[in-house]
């Protein structure tokens, strides 16, 4: 399943360089491709390939997800997940 996820971050360069995405998502069989919004300086996105939505939702509900988001400077209140119809 392919998802588009967007959110704001504190520092785009730090977020792009961070190993946390792969450390967190990789073992769960989730892959990501990063994007940066050229108009909104702290807005970023991901194309995410997940086995199913339950896998992602369960992963995001863990303390490890919160730690990874904090390390990456993600603003959780701006997280927006879109699915293909």
Are the C-beta atoms of residues 23 and 68 closer than 8 Å to each other? yes
Supply the pTM of this predicted model. 0.91
Q: Tens digit of pLDDT for each residue in 32-52?
A: 999 999 999 999 999 999 999
Find, among 51, 14, 53, 11, the residue nearest to 30 by Cα: 51
Using CA of residue 37, residue 18, residue 9, residue 6, what is the dihedral sign?
positive
CA distance 44 to 7: 6
Q: Which domains does the chain have, with CATH numbers?
A: 2-83 (3.30.70.100)
Q: For residue 3, give both structure tokens.
A: 């998802």
Q: Is 23 left (phi over 0), alpha (psi -120 to 50) or beta?
A: alpha
**Mean model confidence pLDDT for the chain:** 96
Q: Is the pLDDT of residue 84 over 90?
A: no
């Amino acid at each position: 399943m392919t998802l588009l996820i967007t959110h704001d971050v504190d520092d785009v360069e730090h977020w792009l360089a961070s190993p946390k995405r792969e450390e967190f998502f990789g073992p769960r069989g989730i892959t990501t491709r990063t994007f940066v919004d050229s108009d909104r300086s702290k807005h970023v996105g991901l194309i995410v390939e997940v086995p199913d939505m339950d896998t992602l939702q369960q992963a995001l509900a863990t303390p490890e997800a919160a730690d990874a988001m904090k390390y990456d400077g993600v603003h959780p209140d701006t997280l927006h997940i879109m699915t293909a119809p």
